[in-house]
Amino acid sequence: MITLDEFIIQRQRDFPFATGDLSGILRNISLAAKVVNREVNKAGLVEILGETEDENIHGEQVKKLDDYANRQFIDSLRISGLCCGIASEEEDDFLAFDEKPNLQANYVVTFDPLDGSSNIDVNVSIGTIFSIYRRVSPLGPCKEIDFLQCGTEQVASGYIIYGSSTMMVYTTRNGLNGFTLDPSIGEFCLSHPNIIMPKTGKYYSINQGYMANFKKGVREFVKYCQEKDEATKRPFGLRYIGSMVADIHRNLITGGIFIYPSLSNHPKGKLRLVYECNPMALIIEQAGGKATTGTMNILDLKPTELHERCPVFMGSTALVEKAEDFLVAYKGQ
Ligand code: AHM
Ligand code: MG
C-alpha cells in the first residue's frame, strides 16, 4: 500500500532539482482535505449545515461548510510557508500572505473550497478543486498577475471528492493518480494509479432542465445522445449530480461528457475558469480526454479577471468532438 505522502516523495525524487516546496503544498492541501472531510461526515450532527448571513461575490448565499472549508484551506496554505498567496472562489479578491517565509515562496494556489454547494445540506457528494501555479511576480507580496495565468501554466491541479468514500485525485502534469482515504488509518492510499479515461462513454451530464436556454447546437447534441443507434451504443444515460467534481469523477472512470454551456441568460455559463474549469481541464487532458469551451481549448484561455466564467464541454475525446461538430453545424443559432 502506498500512501499519498509516500507517493508525493517518490515523485519528487524523479526531479533531482526539486526543492520539495510543491510536495509540501500538496501535503498541506491533503491535510486540510482530511479536516474538511471530518466536518462533512458529521454535518448532520453538529451545527454546520445551513447558511451563513453572508453573500459571496457571485451573489450566492455562503453555506457554513463553504466558509469552514475556505478557512481550512487558507490556514493550511498560509501555515505551510510555501505559498505566497491564494485566490478562492469564496473570496472577493486574492489574498497575499505577508509572513516572511510566504513572501519568499514561489507558488500560488487557487481553489474552490467546497464545490456543489447546493448539495451540502442534502447529503450528496461535494468536492474541493485546486490549481497550483508558479508565481510570475518578483519575490515579495504576490500580485494579481500570478493568478491570471493560462491553464497551460498550471504546475499541478486536483480535486477531493467527499462521496461514498473520500478521494484525492491530482496531477503534476505527469499522469493522473487517485488516492482513497482509509478512515481507519487517516491516510489517503493509492487506489487509482495512472487514470486513463475511455475514449468514448455511455453518459452525458448536463442540466437538461435549462434546455430552453441552450443554443441550438447543444439542443441537437442532447437529442443525438437520446437517439437509438447500436453502433455508438446510444441512447446514452443521463447522469447529472449538480456537483462538478462528482460528475467529472464518474465520467473519468466510466467515460462520458460533462457540459455546462452558455445559456441565453448567462452567455458565459456558470462555471469559473480559474477555480473550476482550468484545474478540471488539466485533469481531463492528463487522463487522455478533451476540455473545450465548444470552440477553444480551455487551457489556452487567458483569464482577464479572477472570477471569470466560461462554457465547458469536457470528457471523453470522441464525445467532446461530437458535441463540437454540432456547435459548428448550428453556429450562430
Ligand atoms: P458552486 O461552486 O456554487 O457550488 O457552483 C458550481 C456547481 C457545480 O459543481 C455544478 O456543476 C453546477 O454548479 C451546477 O449548477 P446548476 O444547478 O445550475 O446545474
Ligand atoms: Mg464551485
**Domain of 265: which CATH number?**
3.40.190.80
The CATH number assigned to the domain holding 150 equals: 3.30.540.10
Work out how many domains the chain is built from and give that number.
Answer: 2
In this structure, are 207 and 185 located in the same domain? no
Q: Is the dihedral of CA 53, 59, 61, 63 positive or negative?
A: negative
Ligand nearest to the CA of 58: 1
Question: Is the shortest distance between the CB of 116 and ligand 1 below 6 Å?
Answer: yes
Instruction: Name the residue with higher pLDDT: 75 or 48.
Output: 75
Residue 244 lies in a domain: yes
In this structure, are 155 and 208 located in the same domain? no
In this structure, are 17 and 143 located in the same domain? yes
Q: What range defines the domain where residue 82 resides?
A: 4-192
In this structure, are 171 and 244 located in the same domain? no
pLDDT average, residue stretch 206-224: 98
In this structure, are 62 and 168 located in the same domain? yes
Residue 197 lies in a domain: no
In this structure, are 259 and 128 located in the same domain? no
Question: Is the shortest distance between the CB of 67 and ligand 1 below 6 Å?
Answer: no
In this structure, are 29 and 158 located in the same domain? yes
- Round to whole Å and give the CA distance between 117 and 180: 22
In this prediction, residue 59 carries a pLDDT of 76
31, 161, 298 from 193: Cα distances, Å: 21, 16, 25
Contact 152, 299 (CB under 8 A): yes
Instruction: Give the three cell numbers for residue 259.
Output: 457540459
Place of cell 499522469: 175
In this prediction, residue 205 carries a pLDDT of 98
Last residue of a domain, one of 159, 192, 225: 192
Question: Is the shortest distance between the CB of 244 and ligand 1 below 6 Å?
Answer: yes
Q: Per residue in 14-44, pLDDT tens?
A: 777 788 999 999 999 999 999 999 988 886 6
Q: What atom of ligand 1 comes closest to residue 260's alpha carbon?
A: 11
- pLDDT band at residue 247 under the 50/70/90 scheme: very high
Report the 3 state secondary structure along 236-287: CEECCCCCHHHHHHHHHHHCEEEEECCCCCCCCCCCEHHHHHHHHHHHHHHC
pLDDT average, residue stretch 61-83: 92
- pLDDT band at residue 45 under the 50/70/90 scheme: low
In this structure, are 170 and 248 located in the same domain? no
In this structure, are 81 and 107 located in the same domain? yes
In this structure, are 160 and 286 located in the same domain? no
In this prediction, residue 258 carries a pLDDT of 98
Spacing, Cα 271 to ligand 2 middle (Å): 7
- pLDDT band at residue 266 under the 50/70/90 scheme: very high
For ligand 1, atom 6, which residue shows the shortest CA distance?
116
In this prediction, residue 28 carries a pLDDT of 97
In this structure, are 33 and 131 located in the same domain? yes
- pLDDT band at residue 47 under the 50/70/90 scheme: low
In this prediction, residue 15 carries a pLDDT of 75
Question: Is the shortest distance between the CB of 115 and ligand 1 below 6 Å?
Answer: yes
Last residue of a domain, one of 166, 192, 218: 192
Residue 125 lies in a domain: yes
pLDDT at position 125 over 90: yes
Angle (nearest 5°) at CA 274 between 272 and 198 = 80
59, 63, 279, 281, 285 from 272: Cα distances, Å: 14, 18, 10, 12, 18
* pLDDT over 90 percentage in the chain: 86
Q: Per residue in 154-183, pLDDT tens?
A: 999 999 999 999 999 999 999 999 999 999
pLDDT at position 58 over 90: no
In this prediction, residue 46 carries a pLDDT of 62
pLDDT at position 140 over 90: yes
In this prediction, residue 14 carries a pLDDT of 76
Residue 23 lies in a domain: yes
Last residue of a domain, one of 192, 212, 244: 192
Q: What is the mean pLDDT of the chain?
A: 94
Ligand nearest to the CA of 63: 1
In this structure, are 159 and 216 located in the same domain? no
Q: Please give the model's pTM, rounded to 2 decimal places.
A: 0.95
